[in-house]
Structure 1
């Protein structure tokens, strides 16, 4: 009887040990599986330190700061005038002086054809970046100073006036001022020949004439347009801008 109980006790212990062994083995297998998955995840994803590593600044960076090259490649596409200028389509270049800038022409302006150069320079009046702003403004002015400028410019008025209207309608105040000065310069050269196209430009002048900032400038320009265009121009100006005060009144 005692032998039976002893053997039964031995079998129960061995049974418990076997069950415990199976449990330990199962738990060890699960732990090993989780560790393997973690290692795979860590190896697949980049470490945080790799993603935020930045090059250290050099001492020479303080002595040689980076500057923006105005003639370099711009992030936006160049305008038509900028593209023509960069390809040498405008026969003049900007010369930086100690006091003020000036243009250097490849040949004398009197030998140049106004078509399409004068129109191209007028299109450049709406530029807002240097050196295109200066080249277009000064080039237009100097080209109209040649001896036979009237004979060359009058046939171009049907194509030139719409281009000037774009500058006069521009939201940028400096572009408007360049367009206004160019219009006065053109009026001084072609005289009454501009009267037939004047009504297309006065709508833009009328809007600026109402503002305090440009009222004096537009008034002065309108008076010069009247002076160069004669009595016919006064009738046209009055029809578009009734508040205009004539130089003769």
Structure 2
């Protein structure tokens, strides 16, 4: 073989090595045809699903309420009393801007960690107690935070939101009818979870004692919506939750 041929062959080998790239294995589902292909690795579906749920929970936890709390922009503080801890307001609660603070505290309903959930829930109770006629104009801004709380699928969050929704309805005579146009946003969750009652068998259902039974709370909330929602409330509830029966008929 001539020198020129040897030189050409070595250049080809060098260029082939130079263009060689290490390919990282692809993640493929288990028990699939892709798992038989080269350069593939089967991933653990269970671990990915758990990680995905954790990521979703972290994304849901990043609420506007938490941001305001971390910046110190909320007029509240914790008061440690012998009969139990409660939040205190640094300003007169009746002078607060409800267009800003009521939706902000409702946004905290999705929180599952202390102290965010404690401040948000107790703050809502105080605002609804002292709100009066200032609550009704803010109703459209409360729908999305309530819907987001239901979408967490967290039992504690959902039960707490149902109790808050009941208190919201009875906080003013104008609130019940004002919620009727928003049943399409609020009641799909009721239709999905209303029949999913907890079956404990022979064991004691302590959730009933603590009023944390999801199905019972949904029934109670629908009754409150019908009683305080006016003449159009039942037909709109029935349209969204076909299994609901009027409390007036019973």
Is the shorter-chain TM-score for this pair beyond 0.5, marking a shared fold? Answer: yes
The alpha-carbon distance between structure 1 residues 78 and 168, as it changes in their structure 2 partners (threshold 3 A), is closer
Relative to its length, the structure with more helix (as a share) is: 1
The alpha-carbon distance between structure 1 residues 150 and 233, as it changes in their structure 2 partners (threshold 3 A), is farther
Mapped partners of 1:186, 1:78: distance in 2: 24
Q: What runs of 5+ residues in structure 1 fail to find an aligned partner?
A: 1-74
Root mean square deviation of aligned Cα: 2.0
Partner of 1:87: 71
Contact 2:183 / 2:240 at 8 angstroms: preserved in 1?
no
Residue 194 (structure 1) aligned to one of 149, 171, 179: 179
Mapped partners of 1:138, 1:100: distance in 2: 13
Mapped partners of 2:219, 2:74: distance in 1: 33
Partner of 2:140: 158
Mapped partners of 1:107, 1:139: distance in 2: 13
The alpha-carbon distance between structure 1 residues 78 and 218, as it changes in their structure 2 partners (threshold 3 A), is closer
Mapped partners of 1:94, 1:195: distance in 2: 36
Q: CA deviation at 1:154?
A: 2.0
Cα offsets for 1:26-61 (capped at 9, x unmatched)? xxxxxxxxxxxxxxxxxxxxxxxxxxxxxxxxxxxx
TM-score, normalised on structure 1?
0.64
Partner of 1:209: 194
Alignment of 1:126-141 (within 5 A): 126-141=110-125
Mapped partners of 1:248, 1:123: distance in 2: 33
Mapped partners of 2:129, 2:72: distance in 1: 22
Contact 1:168 / 1:205 at 8 angstroms: preserved in 2?
no
Q: What runs of 5+ residues in structure 2 fail to find an aligned partner?
A: 1-57, 199-213
TM-score, normalised on structure 2?
0.64
Tell me, what secondary structure is at the counterpart of 1:103? strand
Partner of 1:109: 93
Tell me, what secondary structure is at the counterpart of 1:94? strand
Mapped partners of 1:100, 1:166: distance in 2: 29
Partner of 2:242: 242
